[in-house]
Amino acid sequence: MQDALRGYQSLDLEADVGVAPPAMQAWIAEAQAGTHDLRGALKSLETSAGGLAEDQGNFDDARCDLAMVETKIGNVLLAMGNPVEAKEHYEKALTTAKLAVSTQHNDFPAVYAAAEAYAGLGDVAATQARMTDDASGREKLLTSACAAYKSGLDAWKRIPHLSRYTGNGYLSRGPDAVTQQMYICKPK
């Protein structure tokens, strides 16, 4: 994939060709994350996010891609043990996705990104709950995790034909995986 990206970039296209290079960089990051090269994935995702941020004023898909890439950055940071920074990226993804507007305009790639971001926020709160010794703090974090998971599930309900891949080609964990995470929400 990296060779394909370098080949594409070597074409030195003069015309504005859209979000292809940043999207390709995000797909490379997915492969890196899948092989546990989290540092490489983070670097690739940050590069992708930079390109998408520049393009979002010119291409409709760039905003959706940027929102999803922000969730992917959050996922990598959480896997690296950095829930605080991960939370910042999930929140940035939600802001970028603009769920209410995206739902009205059937902008489903952005709705997927919002659903993934909510699920990520749930994961952050659940992770922080496991790390705290304070019973009251843990309960608050678990309540926050459950609310975020529920928001994610509500967002997925707004997508009429769910797929494991978003309309822009990003892998989604989907509502079934989040439903499994909600075991923490059951009364003990």
pLDDT value at residue 165: 87
At residue 58 the predicted structure's pLDDT band, cuts being 50, 70 and 90, is confident
Residue type, 68: M
pLDDT of 7: 60
Q: Using CB atoms within 10 A of its CB, is residue 10 exposed (0-12), middle (13-18) or buried (19+)?
A: exposed
Give the number of domains in the chain. 1
Whole-angstrom distance, CA of residue 182 vs CA of residue 8: 43
Nearest to 73 by CA among 152, 112, 65: 65
Residue 51 belongs to a domain with what CATH number?
A: 1.25.40.10
pLDDT band at 126 (very low <50, low <70, confident <90, very high): very high
Using pLDDT thresholds of 50, 70 and 90, give the confidence band for residue 8. low
What is the pLDDT at residue 32? 93
**Average model confidence (pLDDT) across the chain:** 89
Candidate from 53-57, 175-179, 181-185 with smallest mean pLDDT: 53-57
Instruction: Spell out the SS3 assignment of 109-176.
Output: HHHHHHHHHHHHHHHHHHHHHHHCCCHHHHHHHHHHHHHHHHHHHHHHHCCCCCCCECCCCCECCHHH
| Averaged pLDDT for residues 72-93 | 98
Greater confidence, 187 or 10? 187
* The two three-digit tokens of residue 84, written as one number: 């605080």
Mean pLDDT of 24-48: 94
pLDDT for 167: 78
- Once rounded to an integer, what is the mean pLDDT over residues 140-158? 96
Domain that holds residue 110: 2-185
Dihedral of the alpha carbons of 18, 19, 25, 29, in degrees to the nearest 10: -160
* End-to-end CA separation in angstroms for the chain: 47
